A and B are shown apart, each in its own frame.
Chain A
Amino acid sequence: MRLERRAHVPLHLVILAPLAAIFAALLLAAGLIAAAGVNPLTAYGEMLTGALGSRLSITEMLTRATPLIFTGLAAAVAFRARLWNIGGEGQFFVGALVTAWIGHSLGVPGWIGIPLLMLAGMAAGAALLAGPAFLRLRFGVDEVVTTLLLNFIVILFVGLMIEGPMRDPLAFGWPSSVPVDGDFRLPDLVPRTRLHIGLLFAIAAAGAVWLVLARTVFGAETRAAGLNASAAAFAGISLPKTIMGVALLSGALAGLAGSVEVMGVTAGVTTTMSPGFGYAGIVVAMLAALHPAGVVAAAVFVATVFVGADAMSRATGVPSFIADVIVALCLLTMIVALLFTTYRVRR
Chain B
Amino acid sequence: MTKVLELHNITKRFGALTANDDVTLTLDQGEILALLGENGAGKTTLMNILFGHYAADEGHVKVFGQELPPGLPRAAIAAGVGMVHQHFTLAGNLTVLENVMLGSEPLTRLTSARGAARKKLMQIADRFGLPVKPEAKVSALSVGERQRVEILKALYRDARVLILDEPTAVLARPEAMRLFETLRDMTKEGLSLIFISHKLHEVMAASDRVAVLRGGKMVAERRTNDTNPGELAELMVGRKVERPVRHDHQIGAPVLVADKVRVADGGETRLDDVSFTVHAGEILGIVGVSGNGQAALGALLSGLAHPASGSLTLADQDVGHLGPRGMIRAGAGRVPEDRHSEGVVGELSLWENAVLERLRTPEFSRRGFVRQGAARAYANDLIKRFDIRGAAPDTRIRLLSGGNMQKLILGRVLSNGPRFVLANQPTRGLDEGAIAAVHAELLAARAEGAAILLISEELEEAVALSDRIQAIVKGRLSEPISADEADPQRLGLMMAGVWTEDDHAA
Measuring CB to CB, which residues of chain A are less than 8 angstroms from any residue of chain B? 7-8, 215-221, 223-224, 227-228, 230-238
- In chain B, positions 297-322 with a C-beta closer than 8 Å to chain A are 302-304
A224, chain B: closest CB distance, angstroms: 5
Q: Are B343 and A217 in contact, with the CB atoms below 8 A?
A: no
Residue of A nearest to B346 (CB): A228
> B residues within 8 A CB of A232?
345, 356
> A residues within 8 A CB of B302?
234
Q: Are A236 and B324 in contact, with the CB atoms below 8 A?
A: yes
> B residues within 8 A CB of A237?
356, 359
CB<8 Å pairs between A and B, sample of 9: A216-B368, A219-B370, A220-B359, A223-B352, A227-B346, A228-B341, A231-B344, A234-B324, A235-B357
Contact with A along B352-379 (1 / 0, CB 8 A): 1000110110000100111010000000
Q: How far is the CA of A219 from the CA of B323 in the complex (A)?
A: 21
- In chain B, positions 328-342 with a C-beta closer than 8 Å to chain A are 328, 334, 336, 341-342
Q: Are B352 and A220 in contact, with the CB atoms below 8 A?
A: yes
B14, chain A: closest CB distance, angstroms: 10
Q: Given A215-B369, A230-B341, A234-B324, list of 12 further CB < 8 A pairs?
A: A8-B396, A216-B369, A217-B368, A217-B370, A219-B370, A227-B348, A230-B342, A231-B345, A232-B356, A234-B334, A234-B342, A236-B325
Binding site secondary structure of chain A: helix
Q: Are A224 and B356 in contact, with the CB atoms below 8 A?
A: yes
Q: How far is the CA of A237 from the CA of B365 in the complex (A)?
A: 15
> A residues within 8 A CB of B360?
217
Residue of A nearest to B326 (CB): A236
> B residues within 8 A CB of A233?
304, 324
Q: How far is the CA of A218 from the CA of B399 in the complex (A)?
A: 25
Q: A234-B343, A236-B324 are in contact. Are A224 and B368 (CB under 8 A)?
A: no
> A residues within 8 A CB of B346?
227-228
> A residues within 8 A CB of B303?
236
A43, chain B: closest CB distance, angstroms: 41
Pick from B347, B356, B372: contact of A235, CB below 8 A.
Answer: B356
Q: Are B352 and A215 in contact, with the CB atoms below 8 A?
A: no
Residue of B nearest to A232 (CB): B345
Pick from B336, B359, B369, B399: contact of A234, CB below 8 A.
Answer: B336
Q: How far is the CA of A237 from the CA of B328 in the complex (A)?
A: 12
Q: How far is the CA of A223 from the CA of B370 in the complex (A)?
A: 13
B68, chain A: closest CB distance, angstroms: 18
Q: Are B324 and A235 in contact, with the CB atoms below 8 A?
A: yes
A-B contact count (CB 8 A): 68
Q: How far is the CA of A218 from the CA of B365 in the complex (A)?
A: 11
> A residues within 8 A CB of B347?
227-228
Pick from B323, B343, B396, B399: contact of A236, CB below 8 A.
Answer: B323
Contact with A along B88-106 (1 / 0, CB 8 A): 0000000000000000000
Q: A227-B345, A227-B347 are in contact. Are A217 and B369 (CB under 8 A)?
A: yes
Residue of B nearest to A233 (CB): B304
Q: Are A236 and B368 in contact, with the CB atoms below 8 A?
A: no
Q: How far is the CA of A237 from the CA of B359 in the complex (A)?
A: 9
Q: How far is the CA of A238 from the CA of B359 in the complex (A)?
A: 12
> B residues within 8 A CB of A217?
359-360, 365, 368-370
> B residues within 8 A CB of A221?
359
> B residues within 8 A CB of A235?
324, 356-357
> A residues within 8 A CB of B342?
230-231, 234
A241, chain B: closest CB distance, angstroms: 12
Q: Are B323 and A224 in contact, with the CB atoms below 8 A?
A: no
> A residues within 8 A CB of B344?
228, 231
A14, chain B: closest CB distance, angstroms: 14
Q: How far is the CA of A19 from the CA of B370 in the complex (A)?
A: 33
The CB with the most chain A CB atoms within 10 A, among B302, B345, B346, is that of: B345
Q: Are A236 and B357 in contact, with the CB atoms below 8 A?
A: yes
Residue of A nearest to B53 (CB): A2
A281, chain B: closest CB distance, angstroms: 24
Residue of B nearest to A5 (CB): B398
Residue of A nearest to B366 (CB): A217
> A residues within 8 A CB of B357?
235-236
Q: How far is the CA of A236 from the CA of B342 in the complex (A)?
A: 11
Q: How far is the CA of A231 from the CA of B345 in the complex (A)?
A: 6
A217, chain B: closest CB distance, angstroms: 5
> B residues within 8 A CB of A231?
341-345, 356
> A residues within 8 A CB of B345?
223-224, 227-228, 231-232
> A residues within 8 A CB of B369?
215-217
A338, chain B: closest CB distance, angstroms: 14
Q: Are B341 and A218 in contact, with the CB atoms below 8 A?
A: no
> B residues within 8 A CB of A230?
341-342
> B residues within 8 A CB of A223?
345, 348, 352
A279, chain B: closest CB distance, angstroms: 28
Q: How far is the CA of A220 from the CA of B345 in the complex (A)?
A: 11
A11, chain B: closest CB distance, angstroms: 14
Q: How far is the CA of A234 from the CA of B298 in the complex (A)?
A: 11
B366, chain A: closest CB distance, angstroms: 10
Q: A220-B352, A220-B359 are in contact. Are A234 and B368 (CB under 8 A)?
A: no
A4, chain B: closest CB distance, angstroms: 10
Q: How far is the CA of A69 from the CA of B323 in the complex (A)?
A: 39
> A residues within 8 A CB of B323?
236, 238
Q: How far is the CA of A8 from the CA of B394 in the complex (A)?
A: 12
> B residues within 8 A CB of A7?
399
A243, chain B: closest CB distance, angstroms: 16
Residue of A nearest to B324 (CB): A236
The 7 A-B residue pairs whose C-beta atoms are closest, nearest first, are A236-B324, A236-B325, A228-B345, A235-B356, A234-B342, A235-B357, A227-B347
A339, chain B: closest CB distance, angstroms: 16
Q: Are B336 and A220 in contact, with the CB atoms below 8 A?
A: no
The CB with the most chain A CB atoms within 10 A, among B323, B325, B334, B369, is that of: B369
A244, chain B: closest CB distance, angstroms: 17
Q: Are B370 and A215 in contact, with the CB atoms below 8 A?
A: yes
B351, chain A: closest CB distance, angstroms: 10
Residue of B nearest to A219 (CB): B370
The CB with the most chain B CB atoms within 10 A, among A216, A219, A233, A236, is that of: A236
Q: How far is the CA of A215 from the CA of B370 in the complex (A)?
A: 6
The CB with the most chain B CB atoms within 10 A, among A220, A224, A237, is that of: A220
A234, chain B: closest CB distance, angstroms: 4
Residue of A nearest to B328 (CB): A236
A251, chain B: closest CB distance, angstroms: 20
The CB with the most chain A CB atoms within 10 A, among B303, B336, B341, B359, is that of: B359
Pick from A215, A224, A228, A234: contact of B304, CB below 8 A.
Answer: A234
B83, chain A: closest CB distance, angstroms: 15
A90, chain B: closest CB distance, angstroms: 30
Q: How far is the CA of A223 from the CA of B368 in the complex (A)?
A: 15
Q: How far is the CA of A215 from the CA of B352 in the complex (A)?
A: 11
Residue of A nearest to B372 (CB): A215
B361, chain A: closest CB distance, angstroms: 10
Q: How far is the CA of A150 from the CA of B396 in the complex (A)?
A: 39
Q: How far is the CA of A231 from the CA of B356 in the complex (A)?
A: 9
Residue of B nearest to A7 (CB): B399
B352, chain A: closest CB distance, angstroms: 6
